[in-house]
Amino acid sequence: MEHFTREGLTFDVADSPAHGVAKGTVVLLHGFPQTSSSWRKVSPLLNDAHYRTVAPDQRGYSPRARPKGRAPYRTTELVADTVALIDQLGDGPVHLVGHDWGAAVAWGLASSHPELLRSLTTVSVPHPGAFLKSFLSSSQALHSWYMAAFQPPLVPDLLLDRFPGVLDELLRRSGMDDDQLTDVHRLIESGGLTGALNWYRAMMLSTPPALARRVAVPTTHVWGARDTALVRRGAELAADYVIADYRLEVLTGAGHWIPEHDAEELATIVLERIAASH
């Protein structure tokens, strides 16, 4: 599969076959401000373990899937995109892995369409209900200041496009390396910045029931102890929102960009979750 479609939008896909006889399919969802390329170190490890990997460039990131305005970037729409992907794969139920915003989409899909999944692995970002509660019971709000900065229309887009060094500095402080920044620059040059920021602008359009909905899929949540954007409290609270087998994996030496910087450890965790879910 090179792409899939939904409601007139076309999404690019990185589809890597399993080595040998396939045991199943793993769908990989990227976060902000990245694309499917963020899985380039994890995917081969899962392929070696006999799993096909399918990593889409999500809404706002794929050049042919960039609707205007913030409403099209509601979580319900983002989840529906992944549902369409799984349906068009015809290979489900699948194992789902999401990092950062991709984790938020993965939580939403697991809570609303558990029949489509065999297992769930979320990386960095906890269940949205746990994330909201962490605002009230920890320093998470201080770490999430940039979310408010991204809310105004146009202004952040223009500033970050005109002064790319500002975003570079923010991402370097979070632990991004030069290769990752090159990918971010490529996304911005392709016109993908506004769509990526619209994910944040649509946050306020989420409905309360979606924040409280529990997950009935075997789940592992992975959090890096050196994450500068997300505190431990949210990772701990995520357990309250899973009614199936749940594991919390804390990587003491990891930061936020786990798929690139801790690929082998993450792949091992994903495979352990898959094995425990049979």
Query: Could you give the number of structural domains in the chain?
Result: 1
Q: Alpha-carbon distance 10 to 105, whole Å? A: 18
Share of the chain above pLDDT 90, in %: 81
Q: Alpha-carbon distance 184 to 46, whole Å? A: 25
159 — pLDDT class (breaks 50, 70, 90) = confident
Bigger pLDDT: 120 or 210? 120
Indicate whether 161 pLDDT > 80. no
Is 61 an active-site residue?
A: no
- Crossing angle (nearest 10°) for helices 193-201 and 178-189: 100
234: CATH:
3.40.50.1820
Q: Alpha-carbon distance 84 to 87, whole Å? A: 5
Q: Are 261 and 234 in contact (CB under 8 A)?
A: no
Residues 6+ apart with CB under 8 A from 236: 130, 248
User: What is the arithmetic mean of pLDDT over 26-46?
Assistant: 97
Q: Alpha-carbon distance 231 to 139, whole Å? A: 7
Q: What is the pLDDT of residue 269?
A: 98
33 — pLDDT class (breaks 50, 70, 90) = very high
User: What is the arithmetic mean of pLDDT over 134-160?
Assistant: 84
User: What is the arithmetic mean of pLDDT over 234-252?
Assistant: 97
Q: What is the pLDDT of residue 100?
A: 98
State the catalytic residue, choosing from 30, 221, 256, 261: 256
Six-digit token string for 59 = 């809404």
Q: Alpha-carbon distance 178 to 168, whole Å? A: 9
Domain that holds residue 22: 3-276
Is 200 an active-site residue?
A: yes
Give 99's strand partners: 123
Indicate whether 68 pLDDT > 80. yes
210 — pLDDT class (breaks 50, 70, 90) = confident
Indicate whether 164 pLDDT > 80. no
Q: For the segment 75-104, what is each residue's pLDDT rounded down to a tens digit? A: 999 999 999 999 999 987 999 999 999 999
Q: What is the pLDDT of residue 206?
A: 75
Beta strands in the chain (DSSP E): 3-6, 9-16, 24-29, 51-56, 94-99, 117-123, 219-224, 246-251
State the catalytic residue, choosing from 57, 100, 157, 227: 100
Q: Alpha-carbon distance 259 to 43, whole Å? A: 10
Q: What is the pLDDT of residue 173?
A: 92
H-helix segments, 190-254: 193-201, 208-212, 232-237
Amino acid at 128: P
Six-digit token string for 237 = 């609270």
State the catalytic residue, choosing from 51, 61, 73, 200: 200
Q: What is the pLDDT of residue 230?
A: 95
Q: What is the pLDDT of residue 261?
A: 98
Burial 75-102, CB ≥16 within 10 A → b, else e: bebbbbbbbbbbeebeebbbbbbbbbbb
Is 256 an active-site residue?
A: yes
Q: Are 3 and 11 in contact (CB under 8 A)?
A: yes
Q: Alpha-carbon distance 233 to 78, whole Å? A: 26
Instruction: Identify the helix (H) or strand (E) that includes residue 42.
Output: helix 42-48
Indicate whether 172 pLDDT > 90. yes
Q: What is the pLDDT of residue 122?
A: 98
Indicate whether 113 pLDDT > 80. yes
Least confident residue range of 109-118, 131-140, 204-213, 245-254: 204-213
Between the alpha carbon of residue 4 and those of residues 1, 77, 121, the distances in Å are 8, 15, 23
